[in-house]
Structure 1
Amino acid sequence: MNVIQQYLDKSRAILATVEQQQANIQTAARWFADTIRAGRMVHLFGSGHSRIMVEEMWPRYGSFPGFNPIVELSLTFHNLVVGANGQRQAMFLENVPGLADRILRNFDLSEQDTALIISSSGCNVVPIEMAELFQQKKIKVVALVTQAHLDQSTSKRADGKKLSDFADLILDTGAPVGDAMVQVPGLDTPVAPGSTLGGTLLINCLKAETARLLTEAGCPPKVLSAGVVVGTQRATELFEAAYDEHAHRLARLYAQVGVPSYVSEK
């Protein structure tokens, strides 16, 4: 079979898998909309290439404030591949126990918050601990995983628990075990992963449904929009307003964090 057609056919299967999860997408979006309406934030986290899904949610065209993208460069900076800041270090660090706690120490979390944790395998330590810590604070956790891969993989955590063990709701990218989807004649390893495709489909379904719920509740989101669609002046106004709203929401995550000081009492 034509390898291009292989990938396209596998992609259609992923689309079908996402389509079958509409009820779970609607539930997650309702949680997210409730958080945003309360003036709080949906915390987004993904290590490795799962960072792609974090940036797909916010900030980019067609997205809106209410999401806190937690991206650690030490876990996600792949461009150099080897040497200083290389891939070996990133893959090591995403399995260091305790790092998730250090990351979340920076934020004043609330039970009104929600979290979306992305990890295709669901088996690396830092995303698992992130979900565990959120749940300990009674924050609802949505896990975005590749279910088939997670089921056949071994957790890097000492107790064997996976991301799915600390999720209130699970969304499945629909990608296969190992992620790569295309078999090339004469090549003994498959190529062309599918989890990013499934992940971005899920992210944008969540985004659209959350926007619908916010709008119907009388809180239409400030969507980053192109000037060719809404006009240059309106686009500029939306960008400025959206970024300012993000700053105001983020300020609430820092205002009372950690050890009180005379500043926090002002």
Structure 2
Amino acid sequence: MNVIETYIEKCRAIANVVEAQQAQIQEAATLFAQTILTGRMVHLFGSGHSRIMVEEMWPRYGSFPGFNPIVELSLTYHNNVVGANGQRQAMFLENVPGLANRILRNFDISPADTALIISSSGCNIAPIEMAELLQLQGVKVVSIITKAHAAGSTSKRADGKKLGDFSDIILDTGAPLGDAMVHIDGLETPVSPGSTVGGVMLVNCIKAEVARLLTMAGKPPKVLSSGALVGNDKAVTLFESAYDEHAHRLSKLYAKLGYPSYVSGE
């Protein structure tokens, strides 16, 4: 096989790993659907390139409200690579203890909420602490990791705990240790990672099952859809109503946050 065929073949193997996790995917989707049906939100978090799965879940075509994408630019802004807002700083910050607590201070978390935390290695401090703190508040946590990579990596936490230690359900991207999947003659290190492929498949499998469950419960989701599919007027209505629903759900995370005031009605 040439290197292109090699990568495609390895992606097929990843698809097989995802398919073998249908029971866990359905379990995660059931938790998320229950949260959404109560009017609450599923919190999404990932540092580094795990942000890709957060934004894949919501908002984009084929997705719907009910999810709270927690995207910290200090942890996920890679465009400059070096200089101000560079990759070195982002990789440093995702291993600063206490940052997850500062992020969550912005939200009024409820045990009715659920969470999806993504970290291929499962070893960086920010996503681990995010899962730990959410569990302490009674939130069920689903994690997406790369099991082979997590098993072969060392946690950045002093106690050695990893994301899987604070997860109620663990899903595996199916990628290998080190993530990169293609070896090239004459090149010492492999290229072309696979965790994003598996991660995107997992979140969209979850999304599809959540949509089915919501529809079966009589609360079909407002799905962001292309005008080419549903017509321009319908597409505008879906987008506007979905964004409004997101705002209504999000308002519950702020209404009674922290110290009471006359504005919060307390």
Q: Which residue is 1:159 aligned to?
A: 159
- Map Cα deviations across residues 51-99 of structure 1 (whole Å, 9 max, x no partner): 0000000000000000000000000000000000000000000000000
Q: Which residue is 2:232 aligned to?
A: 232
- Corresponding residue pairs, total: 266
User: Aligned AA for 2:236?
Assistant: T
User: Aligned AA for 2:176?
Assistant: P
User: Aligned AA for 1:164?
Assistant: G
User: Aligned AA for 1:110?
Assistant: S
**Mapping for residues 187-198 of structure 1, pairs under 5 Å:** 187-198=187-198
Between the aligned partners of 2:172 and 2:61, the Cα distance in structure 1 is: 24
CA RMSD of aligned residues (A): 0.6
- 5+ long unaligned stretches in structure 1: none
Question: Partner of 2:213: helix, strand, or coil?
Answer: helix
User: Aligned AA for 2:164?
Assistant: S
Between the aligned partners of 2:223 and 2:194, the Cα distance in structure 1 is: 28
Q: Which runs of 4+ in 1 moved over 2 A?
A: none
Q: Which residue is 2:174 aligned to?
A: 174
Q: Which residue is 1:221 aligned to?
A: 221
Between the aligned partners of 1:53 and 1:76, the Cα distance in structure 2 is: 12
- 5+ long unaligned stretches in structure 2: none
Between the aligned partners of 2:184 and 2:258, the Cα distance in structure 1 is: 53
Q: Which residue is 1:129 aligned to?
A: 129
User: Aligned AA for 1:146?
Assistant: T
Q: Which residue is 1:252 aligned to?
A: 252
**Mapping for residues 44-123 of structure 1, pairs under 5 Å:** 44-123=44-123
Deviation at 1:101, TM superposition (A): 0.2
Question: Partner of 2:259: helix, strand, or coil?
Answer: coil
Percent same amino acid among aligned pairs? 74
- Map Cα deviations across residues 89-123 of structure 1 (whole Å, 9 max, x no partner): 00000000000000000000100000000000000
Normalized against structure 2, the TM-score is what? Answer: 0.99
Question: Partner of 1:141: helix, strand, or coil?
Answer: strand
- Map Cα deviations across residues 183-210 of structure 1 (whole Å, 9 max, x no partner): 0111010000000000000010000000
Between the aligned partners of 1:115 and 1:231, the Cα distance in structure 2 is: 34
Between the aligned partners of 1:149 and 1:138, the Cα distance in structure 2 is: 28
Deviation at 1:24, TM superposition (A): 0.2
Between the aligned partners of 2:188 and 2:2, the Cα distance in structure 1 is: 17
Deviation at 1:175, TM superposition (A): 0.2
Between the aligned partners of 1:55 and 1:163, the Cα distance in structure 2 is: 20
Normalized against structure 1, the TM-score is what? Answer: 0.99
Between the aligned partners of 1:61 and 1:127, the Cα distance in structure 2 is: 26
